[in-house]
Amino acid sequence: MGSLSIWHWLIVGVLVLVLFGGGKLSGLMGDAAKGIKAFKNGLKDDEDEVKTKKAEDEPKA
């Protein structure tokens, strides 16, 4: 009762392709990929800042 069969998913997929078209859908996926890359780079930059701050805060022997 709660699960959808493969036919339901196929119909939903066809409707999405008809509504959004191939070009819009690929553009949307490209934008999502750019967003994920920017998020990962932001996390990486934050980790680098933390490492450099810890290195600056440590007393030098």
pLDDT tens digits in sequence order for the chain, 61 residues long: 567 899 999 999 889 888 887 777 788 888 999 999 999 998 888 877 777 777 777 766 5
pTM of the predicted model, to two decimals? 0.48
Structure confidence at residue 2 (pLDDT): 66
Which amino acid would we find at residue 58? E
Rg, Å, the chain Cα set: 23
CA distance 35 to 37: 5
Structure confidence at residue 3 (pLDDT): 79
